[in-house]
A and B are shown apart, each in its own frame.
Chain A
Amino acid sequence: MMERTVTASMPMTLGNSDADAELVERYLAGDMTAFDELMIRYERQIYRVCYRFVENREDAMDLAQEVFIKAFEHLGAFRRESSLKTWLYRIAMNHCINHVKKHSPEFIEVNEYTGSVRASVQSQLEEREQREQFRRLVKQLPPKQKAILELRINEQLSYEEIAKISGRSVSTIKASVFFALEKLRKLVKDPNLRKARS
Chain B
Amino acid sequence: MFRHLKAEDFVNLIEGVELTAKHQAHIDSCARCRATWESMRTVHAEITSLETDISEPDWTQFRSSVRDELLSRSIQRDSVVRRWTGWAIRPAVAWALSMLMAIGITTVTVLWKIDGRAPTPAPAGVEPAIPVEPAAEVIESGPEKSLFDDVVSLGEEEQEQLRQMLESAAKGAAYRQ
The answer to the question of A181 belonging to the interface, with a C-beta cut-off of 8 Å to chain B, is: yes
Closest to B55 in A: A57
B40-83: which residues lie under 8 A (CB-CB) from chain A?
A: 40, 42-44, 46-50, 52, 54-63, 65-67, 69-70, 73
23 contacts between A and B (CB under 8 A): A5-B59, A39-B66, A44-B56, A51-B54, A65-B62, A65-B69, A69-B70, A72-B70, A113-B36, A115-B4, A117-B39, A120-B38, A121-B46, A130-B46, A138-B50, A149-B47, A174-B8, A177-B11, A181-B40, A182-B40, A184-B46, A184-B47, A185-B40
Q: Render A1-35 as a binary contact track against B, CB cut-off 8 A, 1 for contact.
A: 11111010000000000000000000000001001
Cβ–Cβ contact A181 & B65, under 8 A: no
Q: By DSSP majority rule, is chain B's interface helix, strand, loop, or mixed?
A: helix
Partner of B73, one of A7, A73, A185: A73
Q: When chains A and B are docked, how far (Å) is the Cα of A44 from the Cα of B57?
A: 10
Partner of B63, one of A43, A51, A55, A171: A43
In the assembled complex, which residues on chain A have CB atoms less than 8 Å from the CB atom of B66? 39, 65, 68-69, 72
Q: Render B79-117 as a binary contact track against A, CB cut-off 8 A, 1 for contact.
A: 000000000000000000000000000000000000000
The answer to the question of A165 belonging to the interface, with a C-beta cut-off of 8 Å to chain B, is: no
A36-78: which residues lie under 8 A (CB-CB) from chain B?
A: 36, 39-40, 43-44, 47-48, 51-52, 55, 57, 61, 64-65, 68-69, 72-73
Q: When chains A and B are docked, how far (Å) is the Cα of A1 from the Cα of B48?
A: 33
In the assembled complex, which residues on chain A have CB atoms less than 8 Å from the CB atom of B63? 36, 39-40, 43
In the assembled complex, which residues on chain B have CB atoms less than 8 Å from the CB atom of A185? 39-40, 43
The answer to the question of B25 belonging to the interface, with a C-beta cut-off of 8 Å to chain A, is: no
Q: When chains A and B are docked, how far (Å) is the Cα of A2 from the Cα of B65?
A: 12
Nearest CB on A from B129, distance (A) = 58
Given contacts A120-B42, A121-B39, A135-B50, 15 further A-B contacts (CB under 8 A): A39-B59, A43-B59, A47-B56, A47-B57, A51-B52, A55-B52, A68-B66, A69-B66, A113-B7, A117-B32, A117-B36, A131-B46, A149-B47, A177-B11, A181-B40
How many interface residues does B have (CB within 8 Å)?
40
Nearest CB on A from B70, distance (A) = 6
Q: When chains A and B are docked, how far (Å) is the Cα of A1 from the Cα of B69?
A: 19
Cβ–Cβ contact B7 & A35, under 8 A: no
Closest to B8 in A: A174
In the assembled complex, which residues on chain A have CB atoms less than 8 Å from the CB atom of B40? 178, 181-182, 185
Cβ–Cβ contact A153 & B62, under 8 A: no
Q: 6 closest pairs, A vs B, by CB?
A: A178-B7, A117-B35, A174-B11, A175-B7, A174-B8, A7-B59
Closest to B47 in A: A153
Cβ–Cβ contact A73 & B46, under 8 A: no
Closest to A184 in B: B43
Nearest CB on A from B56, distance (A) = 5
Partner of A65, one of B35, B50, B65: B65
Q: Quick one: given A174-B12, A178-B11, are A61 and B57 in contact (CB under 8 Å)? A: yes
Nearest CB on A from B49, distance (A) = 8
In the assembled complex, which residues on chain B have CB atoms less than 8 Å from the CB atom of A48? 54
Cβ–Cβ contact B39 & A118, under 8 A: yes
